[in-house]
Structure 1
Amino acid sequence: MAGLGGLRVLLLLAGLVAMANCQENSTAIPDNTPADPENSSDQPKPTAVPGNPTDQSTTGPPPPLCNYSGKADKTGFLFTFEKVTEGNYSIKLTELSTGESNEETVSLSGTNATHRVQNLKPSTDYTVHISPSKYQKLTCGGNLKLKTNGINPNEIEELPTDSYQDICYETEWNISTAVFDASSKKYKFCITPKNTDLCTNFRTLSYPSLNLTKWIGFEYLNPDNITLEVPDKLPAEINWCNQNDLKCEGLGINFTCHGPDTRKYKLDELEPYTKYTCSGVLYNQTIAINKTVTKEVNITCGDIKLVVKDTTAENVSIHFKWEASSQQCPKFSHHENLSYICSCSAAKAGPSKERSCKVPDLDPFTKYNCEIQPRFNDKPIGKPTENRDLLTKPGVPDAVTIKTHTQLENNAFRVECSDLEKSKWRGPKVLYRATITPGSQNEENKSCSFKFQDLSYSTTYTVSIVAFNGEYYGKAGQVKIITSSHTVWVLLRVLVLLSFSVLTMVAVLHLIGWWRTRGNKTATEECIGLNSASDAPPARERLGQGASDEQQHTVDMDLDRAPRGPTVVQRGGQKAVGSAQLNIIDSVTPVSQVTHGPETQRRLGGSQQSNL
């Protein structure tokens, strides 16, 4: 029990001491005495804040005690804590204009402890709130309002540059758009001048207490910001379009160009439709600046305009005449390397440097799609003339080939030929014309088939067929045809021939009969003569039954052989009832010269005696 009583006494004493300290802090007066008497005229006076915590909570351990003051210092504030309970404290600064805030935690202990907050924005009002870290709801004497110092030129350092693209600065102040570098604990910001800022005092920084400017010379001229334009005309030019935006005088660009070869060209030497790479060196007055620009140049003179003045179509060719002009390049139409190619479908003519051409080797009466293409250095340029459908004049059609000829009657026949293809007519019309000679019969037809009739019989005709296209006749196809004789005349001729043949045969037979009769008579007379000479009676043979006395008996005798048999000849054309053959010697031989055989002599002798 004695122990518990002693403990109670100690706790009571501690409570009394704490109450006494609180009364002392609540009666403390803020210290407005400058921290540095020598600089009191330049430095802002610190603002003291009573240190009693404002929390009236009676539960838990007692809150820490804090008493501080603050003032503007360099690029921020300096806070001085006269009495503070050891521990961690939160310092929160909030901009009054924007409401932006930054907060940091510091460890404080003892009397007259200080802490600097730097890298704030210049000439900016802040609200300061300091509280123990464990008791965020407690405020050390309430919020404090402070304003940072203004910036001065000595606090900004310009950084060196080699590109002269940007102007960069470094400072401990938190400049807007600046980026904090943790390694150097400074803010860095850059400003890029425009071409319009050249040759001017460019304002790089503006604050209420500071206006920072810099002269922007030619070294800050950025070639990428130069706008160049190449007019499509000759002589060639390269214009600096945004040059007037600059405040500089006497500034220009001198160009040198390189073409397909290795030769260097001036702008007035450039040819159209040729690619060049032109490099320009900037100069001020006559002094070159170490800045260059590059521009590709290809002058096309717009599209050269061709106006066709005359078109003459022949049957196998088309002739053109035209005029060429260019508004952008007035002298280009007379350039020595300018030429033209004329084409009509697949047929071409040229290249021609004259303003005329003739497309040959065309087909007559054929529609062609024609155009004229300008060329420069043997390469097509611009656009050709508008396509024109032109028709060549008619030409000579192809020759006709006769296919068949057929006889319809003795004096009529049909002639047919192969029809020509459409492209072979070479003219507006399709007409076959047939002529037959001798005679004046002419026929025309759209198909190659002709009938000729009522012709003369047994006559040779020549048929000629030509193709006519309305302008020209083609080469004729010919055929010779012979008509037959008339049927009546043929029959008459046959009858005549038959009659003549019969008469001829009759005459021949009559002559043969007469000749035989005459021959027999002569032989009989010779035989009688012989019998008279030898006084021998005529030889007789027994005739068949019915023979009359008027019949003359003749014996076919052979001087060398015995007679074959009797032959009976009737006078007055009567038919013989027997037959005998007498071989008559064509040349008469004297009887005295004939040598007879014994039998013959006997017969001859008998015959002569009968005659006597």
Structure 2
Amino acid sequence: MAGLRAVRVLLIWAGITGLTHYTSSASAQCFLNPSEIHHHVHPGLPTNITSELPPNCKTLTIDYTCSENGNDFKSLSDLEPFTDYNCTGLIKDNNMDINKTTTVPVRINCDFTITDMNGAVTNTSAKLSWKTTSENCQEVLPELQKLSYDCRCSEPKGQITVKPASDEGTCEITGLKPYTDYTCEVQPTYNNNPVPHGYEVKLKTEPGIPSDITKVTVTVPEHNVIRVSCEHPRDGFHGPHQKYFIRLNDGVKTPLDKCEFEFRDVSYSTTYTVKVSAFNGKLESKPVIKEVSTLYNDKALIGCLVFLIIIILSVVPVVVYKLYKRKHTKSPK
């Protein structure tokens, strides 16, 4: 009969794999060994598998289904990236199953690329924005619900701040130190596992308010001299410059390289307010305020005493002489 076909299957692996001899009046004989079929997996999503069939078997078709760990069979269009699948093809002739292919391992690793990275910083935070492209998975990129990102900023001393981000292409990292160099990275993750490829950008946070002065010492080495010194951590300026302000009674702010200064020729017996603060060229720390009193004018006092002594020494002889003269004038002859 013209449309009659005969199929002989010689089992090689106990019903798993077989040599198929396919004949038809409409075509030449087709000898098909499933183990000799070459499968080519498209390395992207959505993926497909193409098979090289013998020349006389071109009328056959193969439908593939895949599973992860033997569970949840999926079609090729439903496969996820970064997942190991075992796929098997059903060999058909006019929708009639005639054999199965050998197992085809499939794993699609999407090649993510971070582009257009931008970083906006404050003195304690960094906001990163970016775009993601994929050479082999661009078509399904918006549908990858398990795709997310980790944003991290690390400083040379080793401290790392990590903040998970969604796939919206932005994240904000807080808790950073002012005026500090950071290497910030956006790391793609799929199903909470890092995947290629992360992207790094170097940022420097803005200046912040210097840390408070830790210790202020105020002395009066002379009666009208005030000496001020302070202690402050060198890494506590949080800015480009390391200066100090030391002033009396809200006087002029003159930047000093060292936290020490002497105010000379100030008024005697006067109470002054001393203010000490750190300055980084942009911002000033909260001032430490102390009161100090100068001493009396000892030089003037000594001068007065000397003057009084001179007067006394000058007056006493005159008085004594007058008393002596008066006494002798009244005496009888």
Normalising by structure 1, report the TM-score. Answer: 0.43
Distance 2:22 2:219 in 1: 108
Q: Is the 8 A contact 2:114 2:197 kept in 1?
A: no
**1:299 counterpart residue number:** 108
Match of 1:465 among 266, 270, 276: 276
In 1, Cα distance between equivalents of 2:204 and 2:298: 57
Partner SS for 2:255: strand
Higher helix share: 1
Residue in structure 1 matched with residue 186 of structure 2 by the alignment? 372
Cross-structure match for 1:391: 204
Using the TM superposition, name which of 466-475 and 441-450 deviates more: 441-450
Larger radius of gyration: 1
1:99-178 alignment to 2 at 5 Å? none
Q: How much does 1:309 deviate?
A: 4.5
2:124, 2:39 → 1: CA distance?
Answer: 53
Partner of 1:433: 245
**Shift, 1:400, TM fit:** 1.0
Matches within 5 A, 1:448-463: 448-463=259-274
Letter in 2 for 1:330: Q
Post-superposition CA distance 1:204-235 (Å, at most 9, x none)? xxxxxxxxxxx9644xx333322212112222
CA contact (8 A) 2:29 2:56 kept: no
In the alignment, is residue 319 of structure 1 matched against residue 127 of structure 2?
yes
Counterpart of 2:328 in structure 1 is none
Residue 287 of structure 1, CA deviation: 2.6
Structure 2 portions without partners, runs of 5+ = 1-8, 14-18, 155-159, 310-333
State the shift of 1:368 in Å: 0.6
Q: CA separation in 2, counterparts of 1:344 and 1:459?
A: 53
Contact 1:402 1:478 (8 Å CA) reproduced: no
Cα 1:410–1:363 shift into 2, 3 Å = same
Shift of 1:441: 5.2
Matched AA of 1:266? S
Return the alpha-carbon distance in structure 2 between the equivalents of residues 261 and 377 of structure 1. 20
How many Å separate the matches in 2 of 1:260 and 1:466? 67
Aligned-residue offset at 1:297: 1.6
Task: Report the Cα offset of residue 432 of structure 1.
Answer: 0.7
Relative contact order (alpha carbons < 8 A, sep ≥ 6): 1 or 2 greater? 2
Measure, in 2, the Cα distance between the counterparts of 1:472 and 1:260: 61
Cα deviations by residue, 1:314-370 (Å, 9 ceiling, x for unpaired) = 100001111122232223332332211211111112232321110111000001111
Partner residue, 2:118: 310
Q: Per the alignment, do residues 427 and 164 of structure 1 end up closer, same or farther by CA in structure 2, a change over 3 Å counting?
A: closer
1:600 equivalent in structure 2 = none
Assess if the C-alpha contact under 8 Å between 1:443 and 1:450 holds in 2: no
| Residue in 1 that maps onto 2:300 | 489
- Contact 2:30/2:57, CA 8 A, preserved across alignment: no
Partner in structure 1 of residue 38 of structure 2: 227
Per the alignment, residue 324 of structure 2 pairs with none
TM-score, reference length from structure 2: 0.77
Letter in 2 for 1:306: I
Distance 1:479 1:288, change over 3 A: same
Contact 1:319 1:357 in 2 (8 A): yes
Q: CA deviation at 1:298?
A: 1.7
> Where in structure 1 are there 5+ consecutive unaligned residues?
1-160, 166-194, 201-214, 499-612
Confirm or deny: 8 A CA contact 2:246 2:253 kept in the other structure: yes
Distance 1:488 1:249, change over 3 A: closer
Question: Number of matched residues?
Answer: 286
Match of 1:334 in 2: 142
CA distance in 2, matches of 1:410, 1:441: 23
SS in 2 for 1:445: coil
Conserved? CA contact 1:281–1:288, under 8 Å: yes
Alignment-mate amino acid for residue 77 of structure 2: D
Residue of 58, 82, 90 corresponding to 1:281: 90
Match of 1:47 in 2: none
CA distance in 2, matches of 1:291, 1:401: 80
